[in-house]
């Protein structure tokens, strides 16, 4: 059986170990705060250095500045919403070229060098979202507007006209 002095000694050692662990935890908290402050100051230094380089004319690029969030569209519409409006108004399946003609008529085709590809990209996005469907090859419409009579038919020339040409 251990004596009282031995038990007191062991209790004192355990108490010292707890105190040391508490000090370690406190120092680790202080270390994370200091690391956070150091990284913040580092970002501030970098911003000010970039500003000095621009001011002195040694940098071609402006430093990163926070910008206001841009609206989805500068003109007040997006191609996807206008295409949906066109399809709703038509009430029948349309091709990408028909949609482009209507966009051009509404002066909403955008400023792309290849506007038909922009329309096709928008149609792919709308198909993935499930907002439009393709009842037949090359035609799209809003779900519920597909009609069997509206499907395109292939028109072929008579053989006599092809031989003369």
Helix, strand, coil distribution of the chain in percent, nearest 5: 60, 0, 40
Considering the domain architecture, whether residues 90 and 137 belong to the same structural domain is answered as yes
Considering the domain architecture, whether residues 57 and 18 belong to the same structural domain is answered as yes
Q: Rounded distance, CA 144 to CA 121, Å?
A: 22
Answer whether residue 88 is part of any domain: yes
**Is the pLDDT at 165 greater than 60, yes or no?**
no
Answer whether residue 11 is part of any domain: yes
Q: What's the mean pLDDT in 72-80?
A: 62
- Amino acid 2: pLDDT: 56
- Cβ proximity of 139 and 152 under 8 Å: yes
Please give the residue range of the domain that contains residue 100: 79-147
Considering the domain architecture, whether residues 41 and 100 belong to the same structural domain is answered as no
Q: How many domains does the chain have?
A: 2
Q: Rounded distance, CA 113 to CA 108, Å?
A: 14
For 7-43, what is each residue's pLDDT tens digit? Answer: 899 999 999 999 999 999 999 999 999 998 998 898 8
Q: Rounded distance, CA 53 to CA 62, Å?
A: 9
Both tokens assigned to 37:
């402050």
Answer whether residue 165 is part of any domain: no
For 101-117, what is each residue's pLDDT tens digit? Answer: 988 888 776 778 888 88
Considering the domain architecture, whether residues 102 and 46 belong to the same structural domain is answered as no
Considering the domain architecture, whether residues 85 and 48 belong to the same structural domain is answered as no
Considering the domain architecture, whether residues 59 and 99 belong to the same structural domain is answered as no
């Amino acid at each position: 059986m251990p004596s009282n002095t031995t038990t007191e000694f062991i209790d004192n050692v355990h108490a010292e170990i707890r105190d040391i662990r508490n000090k370690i935890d406190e120092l680790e908290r202080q270390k994370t705060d200091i690391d956070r402050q150091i990284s913040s100051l580092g970002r501030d230094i970098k911003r000010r250095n970039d500003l000095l380089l621009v001011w002195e004319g040694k940098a071609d690029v402006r430093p990163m500045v926070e910008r206001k969030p841009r609206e989805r569209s500068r003109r007040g519409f997006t191609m996807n919403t206008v295409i949906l409006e066109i399809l709703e108004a038509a009430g029948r399946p349309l091709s990408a070229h028909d949609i482009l003609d209507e966009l051009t008529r509404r002066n909403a085709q955008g400023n792309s060098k290849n506007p038909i590809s922009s329309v096709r990209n928008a149609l792919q996005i709308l198909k993935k979202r499930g907002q439009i469907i393709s009842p037949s090859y090359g035609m799209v419409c809003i779900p519920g507007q597909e009609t069997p009579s509206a499907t395109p038919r292939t028109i072929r020339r008579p053989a006599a006209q092809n031989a003369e040409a």
